Structure 1
Amino acid sequence: GGSFHYKYPEFMKASEKEHCPVCNQEPAPLGHIDIETNDKVWICGEYPGQGRLFGKMYVMPRKHCFHFEDMSPEDMTDFMNEVRRVGSALRKVTGAVKINYEMHSNSGAHLHIHLFPRYLDDEFPSAPIDYREKEPAPYESYEEFLWFVERMRKELGKTGAEVKK
């Protein structure tokens, strides 16, 4: 597992900005793709996607943060406004009934929030999402995942912050 429970020394080292894989621009895990990077956040999609939910993604603040409660009020406001913007775009692109916003904080030393679209016919009615479920992918193909990424980029572009190139 990716939890700190299994690799505590490495996790705690990565919690320091100078050793943070995100802040040091180390390659993202296999299957993760940047949807948008702006002056406030990274917005990322995953293939095949945790929970087998079409459109599962996550948002990370650009500024290093290990504990949510350590964010300044200004940074927290900026971050949550971006999460809200992404959630709105995600519902438009996927047609999801609701979005679950989840901050686990045990699987990555750089703070991030997962967005799980919820559908009337998803596999977890009145239950939490089993994020360990990844197969079969919710996409018919990798090309369909790339289609989703492009639709999100287009939708986010309508309301976006200044995008970093």
Structure 2
Amino acid sequence: MKSDPKDCLYCQNNETQHNLMIEVAKLSVSRLFIFKEQTYHGRCLVAYDKHVDDINLLSDEERNAFMADVVHATRAMQKVFNPVKINYGAYSDTLSHLHFHLVPKYEGGPDFGGVFRMNPQEVYLTDKEYADMAEALKKEL
């Protein structure tokens, strides 16, 4: 499915994007965001910096660079949040811009051992808590 960058949340950098996530850092070929809904403490997202509908449309070099960014982000998340596991979600049925949801999971925490919920709308933080989280991630990147 070919999508239009004019309709893309990540390309337009619009209010909808700002209501859902906070940009933390630019990586080599992508951007790291904190997902505002924090049912899964430390949940982040990495979005490719160009409008690409699917990972299979990248060259091998571009794909490797994107996946290196994903790993770079999850290594920082591991140090900052110390989850038991980080789940990776690459869903783009309705938003076709290459991005990975990075979802820390904790034993005894929400949905441990199962699939994470996309946006449960249960846990939101203060501006200071988001800022502290962003600073801690930046320090580890």
TM beyond 0.5 = yes
| Corresponding residue number in structure 2 for 1:16 | 4
State the distance in 2 between where 1:110 and 1:26 align: 15
Could you list the runs of 4 or more consecutive aligned residues of structure 1 that deviate by over 2 angstroms after TM superposition?
16-29
State the distance in 2 between where 1:119 and 1:90 align: 13
| Corresponding residue number in structure 1 for 2:32 | 43
State the distance in 2 between where 1:150 and 1:107 align: 31
Once superposed, what is the RMSD of the aligned Cα atoms? 2.0
More helix by share: 2
Unaligned 5+ residue runs, structure 1? 1-11, 157-165
TM-score between both structures, scaled by the size of structure 2:
0.87
Please list the CA deviations of residues 27-80 of structure 1 after superposition, one character each: whole Å capped at 9, or x if unmatched. Answer: 42314111001441111112133xx11111100111221022111111100000
Amino-acid identity (%): 26
| Corresponding residue number in structure 1 for 2:131 | 146
State the distance in 2 between where 1:18 and 1:75 align: 23
Instruction: Please state how far the C-alpha of 1:146 moved relative to its aligned partner.
Output: 1.7
Of 57, 66, 90, the match for 2:77: 90
| Corresponding residue number in structure 2 for 1:6 | none
Aligned residues: 140
